[in-house]
Amino acid sequence: MPMQSSEILDRLVARVRFRHLSMLLELRRTGTIGKAAARLHLTQPALSKALKEIEDAFGFPIFRRGARGLVPTPAGQAVLNGAAVLLAELGHLNEVTRLSRQEPAMVLHLGAPSAVGAGMLPAILARLRTDNERVVVRLREDPVPRLFERLVEGELDALLTSYNQAVFSAHRSSRLVYEHYLEHKYVVIAPTGSPLARKRVVTWKELLDMPWILPDSSFLARQALEGNFLRAGVAVPEPAVTSNHPATTIQLVAAGVGVSAVPETMMHAEERIRRVARVRVESMPQAVPTALVYRAGSADHPQLLRLRDAMAQVMRAG
């Protein structure tokens, strides 16, 4: 008779320890029992025995032994992903308890690409800080693929990111939840005093020969901008400068290096101090959709509930 899920859980709780999870991750990192044993300061027989005990507890092989070393089985990969999350959560618990010795604290590990971080996050994080409870935010700004890796491994609680379908598809089996948030609007900017800023309407053809400051081709903001040129029937410009950080991009435009497109939310302050000017193009750059992404198992975590509430407040405020 097959065991019930509650019985399987009881067996795992009784037999699997955090040190076993650490062993599994070291085996994945090194790919061999010999190298993992050396790093863990164990003998090879002791590590082999521990691995057999762990696999017996789960009821299936976690690694396949081959000529090239240890390779995770499909079920084993799920175990390894879970092990990484549990160890990361243990680290987060240690951090929260340390910060809560004087007063209650909540820690949110949040990831965002630089454009989203500079454009949307300030208003959201301001809402997080208005409550009486202390909220500590650990913000990680990385390329989107690396942010997804950190989320799956448990280093991050959530991502606020541009909707990158290719990256989402690659992690479809990781039980991630995607909630559409807002459209991330972009505007074209030029140095103050540029003839482009004085024109009533500028065509994409006129912008083709300008020196452009653009992010890497993997960024959705660049892909959306290039789509405007293609829809206008003109070639896509090659960047004179590549910059992935909107704040740096604005500095470069203000210095007269070229033109660019940046999140509209960053332009309000810039227009007040007149460092750069908005260019009125014939059709506005296509908005980039953003999403809140988190692991399905963490949907009811307090820090995630607080983040979603802050995001909802920003949306209601318009």
State how far the Cα of 139 lies from the Cα of 156, in Å rounded to an integer.
Answer: 9
Bridge partners (DSSP) of residue 71 are 64
177 and 296 in a single domain? The answer is: yes
CA-closest candidate to residue 257, choices 188, 191, 189: 191
Whether the CA torsion 81, 86, 91, 95 is positive or negative: it is positive
State how far the Cα of 196 lies from the Cα of 66, in Å rounded to an integer.
Answer: 63
Number of structural domains in the chain: 3
> Is there a contact between 264 and 129 (Cβ–Cβ < 8 Å)?
no
178 and 193 in a single domain? The answer is: no
Report pLDDT for 194. Answer: 92
> Is there a contact between 148 and 177 (Cβ–Cβ < 8 Å)?
no
209 lies in a domain?
yes
Rounded to 5 degrees, φ, ψ at 290 are -120, 160
Report pLDDT for 175. Answer: 82
Instruction: Write out the two tokens for 48.
Output: 């082999």
State how far the Cα of 48 lies from the Cα of 37, in Å rounded to an integer.
Answer: 9
88 lies in a domain?
no
Residue written as token pair 């062993």 = 23
222 lies in a domain?
yes
Rounded to 5 degrees, φ, ψ at 120 are -100, -30
264 and 206 in a single domain? The answer is: yes
58 lies in a domain?
yes
165 and 241 in a single domain? The answer is: no
Rounded to 5 degrees, φ, ψ at 279 are -105, 125
174 and 105 in a single domain? The answer is: yes
200 and 282 in a single domain? The answer is: yes
In the chain, which residues have pLDDT < 70? 1-5, 104, 130-133, 163-174, 318
Report pLDDT for 142. Answer: 86
DSSP, res 265: G
Q: Residue 236 is part of a domain; what is its CATH number?
A: 3.40.190.10
> Is there a contact between 188 and 210 (Cβ–Cβ < 8 Å)?
no
211 lies in a domain?
yes
CA-closest candidate to residue 299, choices 307, 310, 287: 307
CA-closest candidate to residue 63, choices 79, 82, 49: 79
Domain range enclosing 10: 5-80
Residue 101: HSE in the Cβ half-sphere, 13 Å Cα cutoff? 4
294 lies in a domain?
yes
93 lies in a domain?
no
27 and 110 in a single domain? The answer is: no
State how far the Cα of 237 lies from the Cα of 214, in Å rounded to an integer.
Answer: 10
State how far the Cα of 249 lies from the Cα of 7, in Å rounded to an integer.
Answer: 57
Strand 212-214, strand 186-191: pairing: unpaired
CA-closest candidate to residue 305, choices 169, 163, 158: 158
Report pLDDT for 164. Answer: 64
What's this model's pTM, rounded to 2 decimal places? 0.72
State how far the Cα of 136 lies from the Cα of 73, in Å rounded to an integer.
Answer: 38
Report pLDDT for 172. Answer: 64
125 lies in a domain?
yes
Residue written as token pair 């400068």 = 241
Report pLDDT for 288. Answer: 79
Q: What is the pLDDT of residues 120-170, one digit of tens each?
A: 888 898 888 755 667 889 999 888 888 998 998 889 999 998 766 666 666
Q: What is the pLDDT of residues 212-232, one digit of tens each?
A: 999 988 787 888 889 899 999
State how far the Cα of 106 lies from the Cα of 123, in Å rounded to an integer.
Answer: 19
75 and 212 in a single domain? The answer is: no
Report pLDDT for 1. Answer: 44
117 and 179 in a single domain? The answer is: yes
273 and 214 in a single domain? The answer is: yes
Distance set, CA 54 to CA 10, 15, 154 (Å): 14, 8, 21
